[in-house]
């Protein structure tokens, strides 16, 4: 292994939290080789763009960033540009053609090879699916945060007709219980209080326990909650069909599992869900929510929506709005449908952009209205807040409520890492304000 003194690495993550996690791992892989992180790209010897392929806009952003980096690269002698992540996986050859200044291309399941690609192999593209080997070769170092994201599961076997994830991240893979717990122990040493378990299909988790038996997410959550230092556990993102009874039961019985669930539904119309190949109906979604609420009545629900999927009529869209009104999501993410090359839905006739935009705006107004009402309902009440960072203003700290709301509070004393029961005194559109 070559050790390069005083080298600098610049990393940029696009897309989901799994990419943020992967970028941290890439950084950790280069640290023993003498690299430290810089947030100034002009100082960097190695630039890694960890990209997202989920919508066309995300991909365009990468190519426009490469264009900007070209100017910097032309002024430096020794400067390597790496494209990692889901765009690298999906269109490695195309990047090579469109952007000759790129030095290496590496996918999400083979980035552990990056140091050796740079040093000896000189392999230009690595898009192998090496999930098992990858996790065996990663390095983990705490970011000194109060809360850490931990990838426990990767990939997806669901193949929704709009989605690139099964192609970019590969088929479902679950890490073993021992692997995950060993990683958590590293973060406990630096004082974390919360873990957020990540997976593209996290509730399909089926890793091996020490006994060699395959276990599910409920087992993993219960096992992690045995760490006294860990006070809060969350997980995302889930599929409605994998909300098993055992997982619902943990929501009732495990006090460390937070009463918040991100459960994407995408549409409120059965006709569209079928065309999307979501493999669940609106009725199934209501059934899961109602079972969950019987276990944990105060659970806060979040979701993802796609508007303007091919064939979506006004009537289908009204059904989505109706579902939002009935479930009363406390937050949600909504997107205009973006046809993705290679996915089955890309062959269908795309609907007019102006219609998509109007629907997105109506849907977002409704969600925002509901979020405001929800947040207002906490004014005057006391809540447990875990503070994890400083705010923009002097003496301001920001934390999360058990329902995942952002809460800010003034304090002369440092609150980071503190879990406090405080009174909510105000609410803005997206956050709450507290006072001791």
Where on the chain is the footprint of ligand SAH (CB under 6 A)? 54-55, 162-163, 165, 200-201, 237, 239, 264, 266, 304, 306, 335, 337-338, 340
Which residue, 118 or 288, has its beta carbon nearer to ligand SAH? Answer: 288
Which residue, 17 or 426, has its beta carbon nearer to ligand F3S? Answer: 17
206 by Cβ neighbours in 10 Å (0-12 / 13-18 / 19+) ranks as middle
Residue 159 binding result from ligand F3S, ligand SF4, ligand SAH, none, given CB thresholds of 5 to 8 Å by partner type: ligand SF4
> Distance (Å, rounded) from C-alpha 288 to C-alpha 295?
11
Helix H or strand E segment including 167: helix 165-168
Which residue, 108 or 166, has its beta carbon nearer to ligand SF4? Answer: 166
How far, rounded to the nearest angstrom, does the alpha carbon of residue 237 sit from its chain's CA centroid? 7
Give the strands of the sheet with 232-236, arranged side by side: 147-151, 194-198, 232-236
Does the footprint of ligand F3S cover residue 86 (CB under 6 A)? yes
For every residue of 98-115, which 3-state class applies, written as one string? HCCCCCEEECCCCHHHHH
List Cα–Cα distances, 333 to 35, 201, 341, 359, 374, in angstroms. 36, 17, 23, 14, 16
Residue 86 binding result from ligand SAH, ligand SF4, ligand F3S, none, given CB thresholds of 5 to 8 Å by partner type: ligand F3S
Does the footprint of ligand F3S cover residue 15 (CB under 6 A)? yes
**DSSP for residue 266:** B
Does the footprint of ligand F3S cover residue 83 (CB under 6 A)? no
Does the footprint of ligand F3S cover residue 61 (CB under 6 A)? no
Does the footprint of ligand F3S cover residue 54 (CB under 6 A)? yes
Residue 166 binding result from ligand F3S, ligand SAH, ligand SF4, none, given CB thresholds of 5 to 8 Å by partner type: ligand SF4
Sketch the per residue contact string, 191 through 230, with ligand F3S: x for CB under 6 A, - otherwise. ---------x------------------------------
Sketch the per residue contact string, 159 through 178, with ligand F3S: x for CB under 6 A, - otherwise. -----xx--xx---------
Helix H or strand E segment including 416: none
Smallest separation (angstroms) from ligand SAH to the CB of 203: 10
Residue that the structure tokens 């540009």 belong to: 81
Which residue, 118 or 345, has its beta carbon nearer to ligand SAH? Answer: 345
Handedness of CA 383, 385, 391, 397 (dihedral sign): positive
Count of residues that interact with ligand F3S, criterion CB under 6 A: 14
Does the footprint of ligand F3S cover residue 155 (CB under 6 A)? no
Give the strands of the sheet with 125-126, arranged side by side: 35-37, 7-13, 46-51, 80-84, 104-106, 125-126
**Rg, C-alpha atoms of the chain:** 22
Residue 85 binding result from ligand F3S, ligand SAH, ligand SF4, none, given CB thresholds of 5 to 8 Å by partner type: ligand F3S
Site residues (CB under 6 A) for ligand F3S?
15-16, 18-19, 52-54, 85-86, 164-165, 168-169, 200
């Amino acid at each position: 292994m070559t050790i390069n003194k005083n080298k600098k690495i610049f990393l940029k993550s696009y897309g989901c939290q799994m990419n943020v996690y992967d970028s941290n791992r890439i950084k950790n892989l280069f640290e023993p080789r003498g690299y430290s992180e810089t947030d100034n790209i002009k100082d960097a010897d190695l630039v890694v763009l960890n990209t997202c392929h989920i919508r066309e806009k995300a991909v365009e952003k990468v190519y426009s960033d490469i264009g900007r980096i070209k100017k910097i690269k032309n002024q430096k002698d020794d400067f390597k540009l790496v494209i990692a992540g889901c765009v690298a996986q999906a269109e490695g050859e195309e990047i090579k053609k469109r952007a000759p200044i790129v030095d290496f291309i590496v996918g999400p399941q083979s980035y552990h090879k990056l140091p050796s690609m740079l040093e000896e192999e000189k392999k230009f593209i690595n898009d192998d699916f090496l999930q098992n080997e990858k996790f065996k070769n990663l390095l983990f170092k705490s970011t000194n945060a109060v809360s850490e994201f931990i990838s426990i599961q990767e990939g997806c076997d669901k193949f929704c007709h709009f989605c690139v994830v099964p192609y970019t991240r590969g088929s479902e893979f679950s890490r073993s219980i021992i692997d995950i717990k060993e990683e958590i122990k590293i973060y406990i040493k630096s004082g974390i209080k919360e873990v957020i378990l990540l997976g593209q299909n996290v509730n399909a988790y089926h890793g091996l326990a020490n006994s060699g038996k395959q276990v599910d997410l409920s087992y993993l959550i219960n096992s992690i909650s045995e760490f006294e230092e860990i006070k809060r556990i969350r997980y995302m993102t889930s599929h409605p069909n994998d909300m098993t009874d055992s997982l619902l039961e943990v929501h009732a019985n495990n006090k460390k599992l937070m009463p918040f669930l991100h459960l994407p539904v995408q549409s409120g119309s059965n006709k569209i869900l079928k065309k999307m190949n979501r493999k669940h109906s609106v009725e199934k979604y209501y059934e899961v929510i109602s079972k969950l609420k019987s276990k944990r009545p105060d659970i806060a629900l979040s979701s993802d929506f796609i508007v303007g999927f091919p064939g979506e009529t006004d009537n289908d869209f009204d059904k989505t709005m109706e579902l939002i009104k009935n479930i009363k999501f406390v937050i949600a993410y909504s997107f205009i449908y973006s046809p993705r090359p290679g996915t089955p839905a890309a062959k269908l006739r795309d609907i007019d952009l102006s219609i998509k935009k109007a629907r997105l705006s109506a849907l977002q107004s409704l969600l925002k209205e509901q979020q405001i009402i929800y947040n207002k309902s906490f004014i005057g009440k006391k809540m447990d807040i875990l503070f994890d960072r400083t705010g923009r203003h002097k003496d301001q700290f920001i934390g999360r409520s058990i329902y995942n709301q952002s809460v800010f509070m003034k304090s002369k004393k440092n609150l980071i890492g503190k879990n406090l029961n405080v009174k909510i005194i105000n609410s803005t559109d997206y956050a709450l304000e507290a006072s001791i």
